[in-house]
Structure 1
Amino acid sequence: MASSYSPPNDRILWVALLLATSLMSAYAGNFYDEFDITWGDGRGKVLNNGELLTLSLDQYSGSGFQSKNEYLFGKIDMQLKLVPGNSAGTVTAYYLRSQESAWDEIDFEFLGNLSGDPYILHTNVFTQGKGNREQQFYLWFDPTADFHTYSILWNPRHILFSVDTTPIREFKNSESIGVPFPKNQPLRIHSSLWNADDWATRGGLVKTDWSQAPFTASYRNFSANACVWSSGKSSCSSNSTSTADNGWLTQELDSTGHERIKWVQQNYMIYNYCTDSKRFPQGLPPECSSSTSS
């Protein structure tokens, strides 16, 4: 697609990305220590001494895992390699969610495809049990051919979704105009692989081909630079927490970040709730007019 901006692949940014990737690998969490397989009757597996986790789906069940820790703000990175081939009908979900009935949630969902068609990356933000803030994207690479890093930066100012360090979506704190923002409930990291062929691919027109099962998604290089919630307190409130280690708590998008988001949304966004006036005949949500959700 034609554009005056291209992804961050010039030499300087490429070197910076290599350095960032190596640092992330060096501090990657061990899946045995950081997560529990929560369902799937053996379809979720931790491998390679805790360095790799896989989820599988067949006609009988999917599978899932969740983090041992809860977090109140953080920068969460995970590398995923999605289900290859004909993954129509499947959904790989990777998200943060609180436990309360009026929950907060920050979503990445990857909607499966027919072989040769692109995956759809579906994002959403729930506050106090209310969502309906979907934005969807195609990716500029094949997410099944190799691992790619999907990141959520969540601080008191905004939520930022990024892919391989390229920001794709920002949801700003706009409580000043009455839009609730996730800031009081600790969130746990979840992921699952499940069958959603009633809606996932072309609105449910394409069903899961179980002859292709088992479907498998893979995870590695988890990293959480985050405030761990324990006994009603955040680790970031400790005086021993270095401000230098938590610069992400006040991080905002710079001009380059805004340019990257604009490039992604101009070239790869396929749905934005903030432009769907048919869905909101009484008027778009207030955050849309204030550019809260970029």
Structure 2
Amino acid sequence: MAIFHSFRNECISMLLWVLAFSVCVWGRPATFLQDFRITWSDSHIRQLDGGRAIQLILDQNSGCGFASSRQYLFGRVSMKIKLIPGDSAGTVTAFYMNSNTDRVRDELDFEFLGNRTGQPYTVQTNIYAHGKGDREQRVNLWFDPAADFHTYTILWNHHHVVFYVDEVPIRVYKNNEAKGIPYPKFQPMGVYSTLWEADDWATRGGLEKINWSKAPFFAYYKDFEIEGCPVPGPANCASNTRNWWEGATYQALNAIQARSYRWVRINHMIYDYCTDKSRYPVTPPECVAGI
């Protein structure tokens, strides 16, 4: 991994020899506002620890959101998040990548669905490729994500998209373009997060409503890491096979990761669109191809 702070200062000089050797890759920000911007309700986002952490607030007046200042094409994004404690039913804390295009969008979603006190938090992942989404999977987290910070990561390269929780893979979406299945690789995506009220669907399909007597609700973020090809930026960055995330180590899960992945899916998966015959009487092609 690059040494983030010094790497930025070297990017300008690196561009002079980019065609011969490598490309400039963006590293993680030192503070929140260095690489992110508030997109929704700045009164509900507070910077902590000199901007190295933030607090998101949800109350009856508003939720809030933020986004990266730039878009990226392939790479890895990661954040440490501490979710809403106690009765969080009806709330959604989201961390995702989005191409910000209306009709043919690409998107990679983490959505943390709150629950009643004592019930497990559910994380829903979804993938949009060339405008087609509806690929939800849900996993009950095997720890209390409100008790401490945990790391949530999206790895995106030419071979697959992998969602990680504390380095444990919980979702893999392979590039099956050779079988005619869309894969997000043409549009750069920004990094987004929101905290909002969605009690019409978020908890038990909308059966559990938000308890506003528990408001305000707080979620915390820190250690914002982005390493990828910025757009606009060097034209050949995204296709450069020397980018670390395109290396052999990151083209498929290793044996240990594969075991962890199977463990999650056997013990903690509670919904998979691939097996939902009420929605998909014919199994979606990417499920048959192997995701």
TM surpasses 0.5: yes
Q: In the alignment, what sits opposite 1:71?
A: 72
Shift of residue 89, structure 1, vs aligned partner: 0.5
Equivalence map 1:123-272=2 (5 Å): 123-230=125-232, 233=235, 235-236=237-238, 243=242, 246-250=243-247, 251-252=250-251, 253-272=253-272
Q: What does residue 43 of structure 2 align with?
A: 42
Report what 1:110 is aligned to.
Answer: 112
What is the distance in 1 between the residues matched to 2:202 and 2:236? Answer: 37
Gapped runs of 5+ residues in structure 2?
7-26
Is the contact made by 2:76 and 2:155 (CA closer than 8 Å) also made in structure 1? yes
Q: What is the identity, as a one-letter code, of the residue corresponding to 1:125?
A: I
Task: Look up the equivalent residue of 2:206 and give its one-letter code.
Answer: G
Partner amino acid for 1:80? I
User: TM-score w.r.t. structure 2 length?
Assistant: 0.86
Q: 1:208: Cα distance to partner?
A: 0.7
Compared CA separation, residues 227 and 122, structure 1 to 2 (3 A): same
Equivalent residues of 2:200, 2:206 under 8 A apart: yes
Distance across 1 between alignment mates of 2:5 and 2:69: 20
Alignment-derived partner of residue 290 in structure 1: 289
Q: For 2:287 and 2:179, how far apart are their aligned partners in 1? A: 11
Please name the residue that 2:19 is paired with: none
Q: Are 1:56 and 1:214, in contact at CA under 8 Å, matched by a contact in 2?
A: yes
1:31 aligns with 2:32: yes
The residue type paired with residue 83 of structure 2 is L
Counterpart of 1:257 in 2: which secondary structure?
A: helix
Residue 114 of structure 1 deviates from its aligned partner by 0.6
Q: Which amino acid letter does the alignment assign opposite residue 167 of structure 1?
A: P
Partner of 1:99: 100
Offset at residue 233 of structure 1 (A): 3.4
Name the CA shift for 1:105/1:142 in 2 (closer, same or farther; >3 Å): same
| SS of equivalent residue, structure 1 residue 233 | coil
Say which of 116, 120, 123 aligns to 2:122: 120
Counterparts in 2 of 1:202 and 1:133: CA distance versus 1, 3 Å: same
Q: Post-superposition shift, 1:276? A: 1.3
Over 3 Å counting, the alpha-carbon distance change for 1:207 and 1:25 in structure 2 is farther
> Residue in 2 aligned with 1:277?
277
Q: 1:172 to 1:236 in 2, by over 3 A?
A: closer
The Cα shift of 1:129 comes to: 1.6
Aligned equivalents of 2:257, 2:239: Cα separation in 1: 28
SS class of match (1:72)? strand
Name the SS of the counterpart of 2:70 in structure 1.
strand
Is the alpha carbon distance of 1:234 and 1:108 closer, same or farther for their aligned partners in structure 2, counting shifts above 3 Å?
Answer: farther
The letter of the residue matching 1:279 is: R
2:9 alignment partner in structure 1: none
Give, as a single letter, the amino acid of the residue that structure 2 aligns with 1:224: I
Unaligned runs of 5+ in 1: 1-19
Count of aligned pairs between the two proteins = 265
2:13 maps to what in 1? Answer: none
What TM-score, normalized to structure 1? 0.85
Contact 2:106–2:184 under 8 Å retained in 1: yes
CA distance in 1, matches of 2:167, 2:42: 34
8 Å contact from structure 1 (residues 227, 234) kept in 2: no
Measure how far apart 1:141 and its partner are: 0.6
Percent same amino acid among aligned pairs? 49
**Shift of residue 224, structure 1, vs aligned partner:** 1.3
> Aligned partners of 1:67 and 1:132: how far apart in 2?
25
Rate the CA distance shift 1:115–1:221 in 2: closer, same or farther, 3 A: same
Aligned Cα root-mean-square deviation (Å):
2.1
Amino acid at match of 2:244: G
